[in-house]
Amino acid sequence: MSDTAQAIAEEIFRRKNRARHAAAALPIEEKLRRLVSMQQRANEIRRSTGRLLMRVWELGPSIRST
Protein backbone atom coordinates (compact mmCIF):
# COMPACT_ATOMS: atom_id res chain seq x y z
CA MET A 1 0.00 0.00 0.00
CA SER A 2 1.39 3.41 -0.91
CA ASP A 3 2.11 5.99 1.76
CA THR A 4 -0.77 8.15 0.52
CA ALA A 5 -3.25 5.27 0.58
CA GLN A 6 -1.99 4.26 4.03
CA ALA A 7 -2.44 7.81 5.35
CA ILE A 8 -5.96 7.99 3.91
CA ALA A 9 -6.88 4.62 5.42
CA GLU A 10 -5.53 5.65 8.83
CA GLU A 11 -7.52 8.90 8.73
CA ILE A 12 -10.70 7.01 7.83
CA PHE A 13 -10.17 4.61 10.75
CA ARG A 14 -9.50 7.52 13.14
CA ARG A 15 -12.70 9.27 12.06
CA LYS A 16 -14.75 6.08 12.33
CA ASN A 17 -13.35 5.47 15.80
CA ARG A 18 -14.26 9.03 16.91
CA ALA A 19 -17.76 8.61 15.47
CA ARG A 20 -18.24 5.31 17.33
CA HIS A 21 -17.11 6.87 20.60
CA ALA A 22 -19.42 9.85 20.08
CA ALA A 23 -22.36 7.52 19.36
CA ALA A 24 -21.56 5.43 22.43
CA ALA A 25 -21.62 8.55 24.61
CA LEU A 26 -25.14 9.55 23.50
CA PRO A 27 -28.03 9.18 25.94
CA ILE A 28 -30.07 6.00 25.52
CA GLU A 29 -33.08 8.04 24.36
CA GLU A 30 -31.13 9.39 21.39
CA LYS A 31 -29.82 5.94 20.55
CA LEU A 32 -33.39 4.61 20.53
CA ARG A 33 -34.59 7.48 18.31
CA ARG A 34 -31.79 6.71 15.86
CA LEU A 35 -32.63 3.01 15.92
CA VAL A 36 -36.30 3.68 15.14
CA SER A 37 -35.28 6.04 12.35
CA MET A 38 -33.16 3.26 10.82
CA GLN A 39 -36.06 0.82 11.16
CA GLN A 40 -38.32 3.28 9.32
CA ARG A 41 -35.78 3.80 6.52
CA ALA A 42 -35.29 0.05 6.19
CA ASN A 43 -39.05 -0.38 5.83
CA GLU A 44 -39.13 2.27 3.10
CA ILE A 45 -36.55 0.24 1.19
CA ARG A 46 -38.45 -2.99 1.84
CA ARG A 47 -41.69 -1.37 0.62
CA SER A 48 -40.04 -0.12 -2.58
CA THR A 49 -38.69 -3.58 -3.36
CA GLY A 50 -41.97 -5.37 -2.65
CA ARG A 51 -40.77 -7.14 0.50
CA LEU A 52 -42.72 -7.60 3.71
CA LEU A 53 -42.41 -4.79 6.23
CA MET A 54 -40.82 -5.37 9.59
CA ARG A 55 -42.18 -4.09 12.89
CA VAL A 56 -40.96 -0.61 13.87
CA TRP A 57 -40.65 0.05 17.58
CA GLU A 58 -43.02 2.59 19.07
CA LEU A 59 -41.31 4.96 21.48
CA GLY A 60 -43.08 6.41 24.50
CA PRO A 61 -43.81 10.13 24.71
CA SER A 62 -40.86 10.83 27.01
CA ILE A 63 -38.45 9.52 24.36
CA ARG A 64 -40.24 10.86 21.26
CA SER A 65 -40.55 14.43 22.46
CA THR A 66 -36.90 15.17 23.06
Q: Please report the pLDDT score of residue 61 as a whole number.
A: 87
What percent of the chain has a predicted confidence (pLDDT) above 90?
A: 85
Q: Please report the pLDDT score of residue 64 as a whole number.
A: 74
User: 43 is in which domain, residue-wise?
Assistant: 3-64
Annotate 7-34 with b (16+ C-beta within 10 A) or e (fewer): eeeeeeeeeeeeeeeeeeeeeeeeebbe
What percent of the chain has a predicted confidence (pLDDT) above 70?
A: 97
AA identity, residue 41: R
pTM for the predicted model, two decimal places: 0.74
| pLDDT at 66 exceeding the cut of 70 | no
- Residue 54 CB contacts under 8 Å (≥ 6 apart), including other chains: 39, 42, 43, 46
Q: Please report the pLDDT score of residue 63 as a whole number.
A: 83
Mean pLDDT of 37-60: 96
- The structural domain count of the chain equals 1
CA dist., res. 18 & res. 7, Å (int): 17
